[in-house]
Amino acid sequence: MDKFREKLIHLHHCRGIGWKSIFRILQHDPTLSSIYTIPSSVYDKILPLPKNQLNIFLKDLHSLSIQSMLKQYRYNNVGIITIFDQEYPFLLKQIYDPPWVLYTAGDQALLNSRKLLGVVGSRTPIRTSVESMTKVLVPLIKKDWVMVSGLARGIDTMAHQLAIHHNGKTIAVIAGGLHHIYPRENIELATTITQNHILISEYPPSTKPEKWQFPMRNRIISGLTQGTLVVEAKERSGSLITADQAVNQGREVFALPGSILEPSCVGTNKLIQSGAKLVLSCDDILSEIPTNS
């Protein structure tokens, strides 16, 4: 592993800093050749962080043994892709704030598939939503479309399971690290995905999931894919955040219509009202995302 790549992964493991701080460090030192010798006073100038956060960052920068971590990751079959690696997902690299590093378990080749569809929706879907979703997605799965979702309860879980059951492929993007699967009832599903599909996270494997990481994860689901299908969503819903991010990333947004009597369908119906493509069959998705096969 070249030194630049190793140093970027080291920075990514340091507590106290985030995406913008790494961006500023790269602006100051594009080759990362001096990150261990830059005086703390200089870091204080280039990183607008509270003193306690800066101190935590500097402690990790000068005490973490990244070589031993990387050795442990190799032993546990944890893959690492940095934004500067050839394997980094092409579509994800185009978004405003692509992850500097992705941690993976499974088949990395899926990340650059030409047919990737994000699928998000309610954690407690109604029966008709599940049936409608199955009608739309199964033909796509049989045409080699890869289902990308977030391993959450409900629609996410269904999307992964449909792909697996119909001999397709799926990508699960999780909040937190690979060693902390959430929700716990999906640990078995996650294990299956690591064996024949792929599980990915932008957080180091030992990171425990926190609430703020879930909206951040959603930008990866939409960023990886040519389009995102929203199956069922209330008026205020994390799925609508994903749809907004897809729009901001210049990607397609699709929505399954629902009953006007169902509160859990208000969000999806309003998405359609505001311009999302109404989906009645897989053809409504295929007509918007051209592929060569």
The number of residues in the chain equals 293
Residue 31 lies in a domain: yes
Same domain, residue pair 45 and 121: no
Residue 90 has pLDDT above 60, yes or no: yes
Residue 92 lies in a domain: no
Q: Which domain holds residue 59?
A: 3-75
**Quick one: pLDDT at residue 292?**
56
Same domain, residue pair 123 and 238: yes
Same domain, residue pair 237 and 113: yes
Token code pair at residue 200:
């990915």
Domain count, the chain: 2
Residue 174 has pLDDT above 60, yes or no: yes
Q: How far is CA 232 from CA 124, 195, 263, 279, in A?
A: 9, 29, 10, 12
Residues 56, 15 contacting (CB under 8 angstroms): yes
Same domain, residue pair 120 and 21: no
Tell me the average pLDDT across 88-110: 97
Same domain, residue pair 138 and 282: yes
What is the CA 76 to chain-centroid distance, rounded? Answer: 21
Which of 91, 221, 108 is CA-nearest to residue 169?
A: 108
Same domain, residue pair 41 and 150: no
Same domain, residue pair 191 and 52: no
**Quick one: pLDDT at residue 293?**
45
What is the CA 10 to chain-centroid distance, rounded? Answer: 21
Predicted confidence band of residue 231 (pLDDT cuts 50, 70, 90): very high
Instruction: Tell me, yes or no, if the pTM score tops 0.85.
Output: yes
Same domain, residue pair 55 and 184: no
Same domain, residue pair 182 and 48: no
**Quick one: pLDDT at residue 236?**
83
Residue 80 lies in a domain: no
Same domain, residue pair 71 and 177: no
Among the candidates 56, 75, 94, a domain finishes at: 75
Same domain, residue pair 264 and 127: yes
Token code pair at residue 173:
């993007």
Mean pLDDT of the chain: 95
Tell me the average pLDDT across 220-233: 96
The domain that holds 271 is classified in CATH as 3.40.50.450
Q: Write out pLDDT tens, residues 68-78.
A: 999 999 999 99
Among the candidates 75, 92, 118, a domain finishes at: 75
DSSP secondary structure code for residue 110 in this structure:
G
Among the candidates 75, 96, 124, a domain finishes at: 75
- What torsion do the CA atoms of 207, 213, 214, 219 make, to the nearest 10 degrees? -120
- Alpha-carbon gap, residue 36 to 72, rounded angstroms: 23
**Quick one: pLDDT at residue 1?**
56
Residue 119 lies in a domain: yes
Q: Which residues contact 121 (CB under 8 A, 6 or more apart)?
A: 129, 133, 154, 155, 156, 230, 231, 232, 233, 239, 268
Same domain, residue pair 68 and 119: no
Residue 83 lies in a domain: no
